[in-house]
Amino acid sequence: MTETAPRRLLPLLTGRHGGSRSALTCRFRCGDACFHDVPNTSAGEYFGDVAARAFSRRTALKAGAVVAAAGAATTVLGQQPALAAPGKGQAGKSGAAPGLNFEPVAPNTDDKLTTPAGYLQDVVIRWGDKLFSDAPDFDPAHLTAAAQQRQFGYNCDYLGLLPLKGQHEFLLVANHEYTDEILMFAGYDAENPTREQVEVAWAAHGLSVVAVTSGQRGKRSGALDPMVDHRLNRRFDTHSAFELTGPVAGTDLVKTAADPTGRTVLGTLNNCSGGLTPWDTWLTAEENFNQYFANAASVTDPVVKERLRRYGMTGGASERKWERFDDRFDLLKAPNEANRFGWIVEVDPYDPTSTPKKRTALGRFKHEAATTRVTADGRLAVYMGDDERFDYFYKFVSTDKVGKGDNRDLLDNGTLYVAKFTGNSPAAEITGDGTLPSDGAFDGAGEWIPLVTSHGSEAISHVPGMSGVEVLLFTRQAGDAVGATKMDRPEDVEPNPVTGVVYVALTNNTKRLLPGEVDEANPRVNNKHGHVLEVAEARNDAGASAFAWRVFLLAGDPNDPSTYFAGFDKSQVSPISCPDNVAFDKRGNLWISTDGNALGSNDGLFAVAVDGEFRGQVKQFLTVPVHAETCGPWIDDDRVLVCVQHPGEGDGSTFENPTSHWPDGGTSVPRPSVAVAWRADGKKIGH
């Protein structure tokens, strides 16, 4: 693709980037990623030789057969259709897909959680709520690190509910992605943070495990309350111990003065979404870790400098200035510390003494999520997105089969792949304005290109010029070398539990500027509302190396001709913008939460059928309060949970004068929280 001129329009506090995110979100969430150069400057072409191209064509042909199989409505495995045909939606269709029978919530800018008529709601746990009775009550005017270490952290993103006891006790796991210091501290001076403020932020990052119960509320209530002092409650923060496992553990590039063995890392940073394994552990994804590390600009070694640049580390002082209080955040003083972040972390929430493991065999990038599906022969596939404009979509497949035990080493042995998408329409028909090509679909075939195979402490590289350990540590550069497809910010990924089709949320990309820069899988220029892809693995096997794919949704205002709702009548859908986290209900309906709605409404949670006559009928289930993002949707029969992340994170918003007062109301500070909705009549969601 053509490179555009470098952009260094660092935002003013009251500025706004090209999409709809507030300047505060850009600054605190991802270190102003949108205002820096796109880190992927690779050519985006497969540098393979003729044989490799022939291989490409062969796999494309094989995957083409999958499309044909999908057209015949069954896969080789005889399961559900792999990819439903587009255009099934009918004008004037009444009713709703099974499980999605609710009145859609209208777009709005209200400072509250808005749910459909007939639904009730409650807050499960807020920033500052105690997990242990020895913590003080939340006092926003007097935050301390000691208190925060025993309280729910800031900016929850992923949430999962694991079974605990019967139908009413669960283990809630949640990430605390990052902190909004300007909303946390009175008179916060970003140029001169105090040690006390930095230590609170260290404690407010990380993870929470907290038992919750519905037992206190009566039979019909879906409300959940934290069980303070439950023996499984845990907080992990920037000083908790994490073990590096897999081939990178113990190698020179992860050794530091504080950890000469290269095996124990303090902290997990910027954990965004995640997933659960079949053996009930939690995978949590370290995302924009780059923003915490200072002074990349002063690094002189050209190889190291390029590796840092590819991960977005190019500047001087960091936003939060942590390097002033701990040398490990200064790349000149601790050059390897940044190599110890950017991993998928596995947590065993049922063992309160367990040390979480950073699984290096799954590669290092800005991990958004990690969701799993068992392959046809019993191994585990883990799907992962790298949330950066023009970065890649990955899959890890374990060597060993999923066993009945704790599968302790399963994620240390296996092969990491990156996706290459090929369209089946002529390039001239991909015009960049969302117009469907003449075959009626943005679709095609794809292949999983192997990057590295991990086996114990060994890593066998499949990328010429890079060692196995280098591929795991600098996975983005490995993806560049094999010509992976540059995507429009791959965020959450989720296999449909009913059909096996994998859904990939691509949040947006306003830097894909020219018609020549689009491809059939990323078919819009200035894609400010994002899209959702369907990926159907060959033979419906998560272990396959080929797949078919199709664009399911081109988000935006349905009146915008560049949008596409899987062929459904656009007069009957909710406007949706910036799909981010995705989840499924048991029926196989897709639920999509949004981040950065560029249509003037608050962000929300949407549900859509992916099969049958209502395929593509997007319906808004809830909206979150002012300047919040909807995260971590969790859908079960009786309740819908979301994380309300960064309420009040708007232009000009401060601790003293925030733009949101949710959830406590009055003049209170906004508090990122987990919220729950359920039906007032006690019936199942959407019935």
Evaluate whether 364 touches 466 at the Cβ level (below 8 Å): no
Exactly one of 129, 287, 412, 603 binds ligand FEO (CB under 6 A); which one? Answer: 287
Minimum CB distance to ligand FEO smaller for 175 or for 221: 175
Which of Ca ion, ligand FEO, none interacts with 439 (beta carbon under 5 to 8 A by kind)? Ca ion
Task: Indicate the burial class of 140 (C-beta count within 10 angstroms; 0-12, 13-18, 19 or more).
Answer: middle
Q: Which residue type, as a one-letter code, is found at position 130?
A: K
Q: Which residue type, as a one-letter code, is found at position 330?
A: D
Closest CB 384 distance from Ca ion, rounded Å: 13
Q: Which 3 state secondary structure label does DSSP give 33? A: helix
Evaluate whether 180 touches 28 at the Cβ level (below 8 Å): yes
CA 239 to chain centre: 24
Number of residues binding to Ca ion, judged by CB under 5 A: 9
The verdict on 113 binding ligand FEO (CB under 6 A) reads no
Q: Which residue has the tokens 């519905």?
A: 214
Evaluate whether 542 touches 448 at the Cβ level (below 8 Å): no
Which of Ca ion, ligand FEO, none interacts with 425 (beta carbon under 5 to 8 A by kind)? Ca ion
Alpha carbon distance 39, 498 (integer Å): 37
Q: And the tokens for 520?
A: 């059939």
Minimum CB distance to ligand FEO smaller for 287 or for 519: 287
Beta-strand relationship, 156-165 and 564-565? unpaired
b (16+ CB within 10 A) / e for 556-579: bbbeeebbbbbbbebebbbbbbbb
Alpha carbon distance 445, 507 (integer Å): 22
Exactly one of 425, 562, 572, 653 binds Ca ion (CB under 5 A); which one? Answer: 425
Cα within 13 Å of Cα(31), Cβ side: 26
Closest CB 500 distance from ligand FEO, rounded Å: 25
Q: Which helix (H) or strand (E) holds 24?
A: helix 23-30
Q: Which stretch binds Ca ion (CB under 5 A): 207-215, 399-407, 424-432, 548-556?
A: 424-432
Q: Which stretch binds Ca ion (CB under 5 A): 90-98, 265-273, 339-347, 497-505?
A: 265-273
Minimum CB distance to ligand FEO smaller for 180 or for 330: 180
Q: Which stretch binds Ca ion (CB under 5 A): 51-59, 203-211, 236-244, 573-581?
A: 573-581
Q: Which residue has the tokens 């924009």?
A: 288
Alpha carbon distance 584, 603 (integer Å): 19
Closest CB 25 distance from ligand FEO, rounded Å: 10
Q: And the tokens for 602?
A: 């608050």
Minimum CB distance to ligand FEO smaller for 326 or for 368: 368
Evaluate whether 29 touches 288 at the Cβ level (below 8 Å): yes
Peptide bond into 575 cis (omega under 30): no
The verdict on 32 binding ligand FEO (CB under 6 A) reads no
Q: Which residue has the tokens 């002529």?
A: 426
Closest CB 258 distance from Ca ion, rounded Å: 31
Which of ligand FEO, Ca ion, none interacts with 177 (beta carbon under 5 to 8 A by kind)? ligand FEO
Minimum CB distance to ligand FEO smaller for 245 or for 475: 475
Closest CB 525 distance from ligand FEO, rounded Å: 21
Q: Which 3 state secondary structure label does DSSP give 59? A: helix
Which of ligand FEO, Ca ion, none interacts with 326 (beta carbon under 5 to 8 A by kind)? none
Q: Which 3 state secondary structure label does DSSP give 65? A: helix
**What is the C-alpha radius of gyration for the chain, rounded to an integer number of angstroms?**
23
Minimum CB distance to ligand FEO smaller for 272 or for 410: 272
Exactly one of 196, 439, 458, 656 binds Ca ion (CB under 5 A); which one? Answer: 439
The verdict on 443 binding Ca ion (CB under 5 A) reads yes
Q: Which of residues 443-502 bind ligand FEO (CB under 6 A)?
A: 491
Which of ligand FEO, Ca ion, none interacts with 470 (beta carbon under 5 to 8 A by kind)? none
Which of ligand FEO, Ca ion, none interacts with 424 (beta carbon under 5 to 8 A by kind)? Ca ion
**Which residues are within 8 A (CB) of 130 and not within 5 positions of it... i.e. 6 or more apart?**
136, 137, 138, 150, 151, 152, 228
Closest-CA residue to 643 (of 653, 655, 633, 657)? 633
Closest CB 207 distance from Ca ion, rounded Å: 16
Closest CB 271 distance from ligand FEO, rounded Å: 8
Q: Tally Cβ neighbours within 10 Å of residue 257.
A: 11
Q: Which of residues 39-68 bind ligand FEO (CB under 6 A)?
A: none
Exactly one of 122, 129, 177, 412 binds ligand FEO (CB under 6 A); which one? Answer: 177
Exactly one of 84, 182, 209, 272 binds ligand FEO (CB under 6 A); which one? Answer: 272
Contact code string over 372-391 relative to ligand FEO, x by CB under 6 A: ---------------x----
| Geometric angle at alpha carbon 425, from 423 and 428, rounded to 5° | 110
Task: Indicate the burial class of 222 (C-beta count within 10 angstroms; 0-12, 13-18, 19 or more).
Answer: buried
Evaluate whether 521 touches 442 at the Cβ level (below 8 Å): yes
Q: What φ, ψ does residue 274 adopt, rounded to 5°? A: 180, -150
Which of ligand FEO, Ca ion, none interacts with 287 (beta carbon under 5 to 8 A by kind)? ligand FEO
Peptide bond into 437 cis (omega under 30): no
Q: Which 3 state secondary structure label does DSSP give 375? A: coil
Closest CB 566 distance from ligand FEO, rounded Å: 24
Q: Which of residues 270-309 bind Ca ion (CB under 5 A)?
A: 272
The verdict on 580 binding Ca ion (CB under 5 A) reads yes
Residue nearest to Ca ion (CB): 425
Minimum CB distance to ligand FEO smaller for 66 or for 362: 362
Q: What φ, ψ does residue 208 adopt, rounded to 5°? A: -130, 140
Beta-strand relationship, 241-245 and 357-359? parallel
The verdict on 424 binding Ca ion (CB under 5 A) reads yes
Minimum CB distance to ligand FEO smaller for 372 or for 594: 594
Contact code string over 481-520 relative to Ca ion, x by CB under 5 A: ----------x-----------------------------
Minimum CB distance to ligand FEO smaller for 177 or for 470: 177
Minimum CB distance to ligand FEO smaller for 237 or for 491: 491
> Which residues bind to Ca ion, rule: CB under 5 A?
272, 424-425, 437, 439, 441, 443, 491, 580
> Which residues bind to ligand FEO, rule: CB under 6 A?
157, 177, 272, 287, 368, 387, 491
